[in-house]
Structure 1
Amino acid sequence: VRDVSEGEACPTESGFIADQDRETIVKSSMLPHDSAPRVTSPAADEGSMQHNISELTALCTSLQRKYSELQAKFQAQEEEIVKLKDRVKVLEDREGVAAKQSRDDAPIKGGVSMQGRQLLKESVMTQRRLQGF
């Protein structure tokens, strides 16, 4: 066990990693080095490029498919929005007509509507019957 008060550092994960890196550097410096630079063959480069082109083509195809799907969903949503707006307009128009009709009926003779007059008349008749008139 180390005593931290004497200035000794506690081992940490980064310390172990640094020690491993040093060991790797020492080992690699002991290996013989090729003096000739490494060059890949044109056939190897072409195969690697062909693989990359295939991957990119597959990615492009996938993205085009997703774009088409999103575009179709967007179009369907646009059509639904137009239908809903039309429906709202029809309902607002109906409500406006109904409101106008009720406003036309309401201000009859002192603001009493036809329905109000009918209720008043029925109420008076009921009271008279109860009183024996």
Structure 2
Amino acid sequence: MKRREFIAGTAALLISPRSSQGQGKRRRLGFLAIGDGSGKALNQAEVAFIDALRSLGWIQGKNLTIEYRFSQPADRLTDSVAELMALGPDILIAPGPQAAIALKSATGTIPIVFVGVADRKRLAATLLRLA
């Protein structure tokens, strides 16, 4: 997938909820994180991402469904990815490099969005692997 196609597709999905509401279609996001997910404790970047979606008109339970998968231990990652793929998400959210690489290995057609990566060197290495 080319960069411009990805950006256009992601923008269309995330910015125009009214067209989806008119058609009665609820969008499904697949969220994959490495961790235990007890209580779905999201970090600040992930919470900011969800808040930004809300400010753009994407309301969970109304026109948006977010499917969370937390892979703990990390060797369960393959199972978590398979569960998300089976749900048919419109877009995939990867809060870190390990999740992004796992998702990329499972699909070449569903857009994958990084929520936040603190280590720039690790981000660069991940982007090279995803390219």
Alignment TM-score, normalising by the size of structure 2? 0.13
Alignment TM-score, normalising by the size of structure 1? 0.13
Query: Relative CO higher for 1 or 2, CA cutoff 8 Å, sep ≥ 6?
Result: 2
Structure having the larger proportion of residues in helix = 1
